[in-house]
Amino acid sequence: MTSTAHTMNGGPPGPAAQTPAARADRISKVYGRGDARVVALDEVSVSLDRGRFTAVMGPSGSGKSTLMHCMAGLDSVDSGEVYVGDIEVTGLDDKRLTRLRRDRIGFVFQAFNLVPTLTALENITLPLDIAGRKADQAWLDTVIDTIGLRERLKHRPSELSGGQQQRVACARAMASRPEIIFADEPTGNLDSRSGAEVLSFLRNSVREMGQTVVMVTHDPVAAAYADLVIFLADGRLVDQIPDPTAEKVLERMKGFELPGVTP
């Protein structure tokens, strides 16, 4: 009888060690019908690696938000499959979907959506409180130190700058230690300095805390914070740039503005 490292260790490594944080397999999404029919996503396949910061770019209307919403289980697909970790999102009923979003996914939107009557700390722990879960204090401390707002935790949103409010919203998304964070234009309402604060935080959460972040942005400078930029056009994935710089991203974007130009 032979024994292998696998069996001695109780079997092969679990799926969490191998699977991407999230994955879309040929997903399509159509809105409306007849004259109003829009193919928002046209057989898009994408795999989002763990511990990576991915930016999603493309012209307005190219399907960026739809892709995020479908991958996060906020919207349904017409065909194809979406996985978060080893869970098939596209196969879940409403109850399981709600639980998946609550336990495994973090969201950050352009609008901060903080509760004005709660302090920064209360906002950060609100989703956990609603779920009746106890925060992992060590993790929460790490998140709070990374957002750099320990002195402001008792402040209400109106007493914080836009950048600080969005950092609180990011911390709220991270408090439950989600498998993946989806951020749709998180710096869209911020001046460039506040935007840089939020982007640094998102990048640090990936580098130092091993978070997985996907962010839609219009801004080449914002995209340059990511490890990988993927480009959508007309509901299709058309290009990607690893280790992006703002210059490389800008250069690629010029291609979108000159349709029909061929070398």
Ligand X SMILES: Nc1ncnc2c1ncn2[C@@H]1O[C@H](COP(=O)(O)OP(=O)(O)O)[C@@H](O)[C@H]1O
Q: Total residues contacting ligand X (rule CB under 6 A)?
A: 12
123 binds Mg ion (CB under 5 A): no
Quick one: what does residue 125 bind among Mg ion, ligand X, none, with the CB cut-off 5 to 8 Å set by partner type? Answer: none
Quick one: what does residue 31 bind among Mg ion, ligand X, none, with the CB cut-off 5 to 8 Å set by partner type? Answer: ligand X
Reduce the DSSP state of residue 186 to 3 states and report it. Answer: coil
CB 103, CB 127: distance < 8 Å: no
Q: Total residues contacting Mg ion (rule CB under 5 A)?
A: 2
Write down the least CB distance from residue 109 to ligand X, Å.
12
Question: Which residue type does 253 have?
Answer: M
Q: Which residues contact 227 (CB under 8 A, 6 or more apart)?
A: 52, 53, 54, 206, 242, 243
Please give the DSSP secondary-structure letter assigned to residue 14.
P
Write down the least CB distance from residue 209 to ligand X, Å.
27
Q: Which residues contact 134 (CB under 8 A, 6 or more apart)?
A: 128
Write down the least CB distance from residue 62 to Mg ion, Å.
9
Q: In this structure, is the dihedral angle defined by the CA atoms of residues 146, 152, 155 and 159, taken in order, positive or negative?
A: negative
66 binds Mg ion (CB under 5 A): no
Centroid of chain to Cα 171: 13
| H or E element at residue 142 | helix 137-147
| H or E element at residue 247 | helix 246-257
Write down the least CB distance from residue 63 to Mg ion, Å.
9
Quick one: what does residue 195 bind among ligand X, Mg ion, none, with the CB cut-off 5 to 8 Å set by partner type? Answer: none
65 binds Mg ion (CB under 5 A): yes
Write down the least CB distance from residue 74 to ligand X, Å.
11
Q: Smaller CB distance to ligand X: residue 31 or 150?
A: 31
Site for ligand X, residues 59 to 88, rule: CB under 6 A: 60-66
CA 231 to each of CA 55, 130, 154, 160, 214: distance values in angstroms, whole numbers, following the listed order: 9, 36, 40, 34, 13
Residue nearest to Mg ion (CB): 65
Binding mask 28-57 for ligand X (x = CB under 6 A): ---xx-----x-x-----------------
Interface residues with Mg ion (CB under 5 A) are 64-65
Interface residues with ligand X (CB under 6 A) are 31-32, 38, 40, 58, 60-66
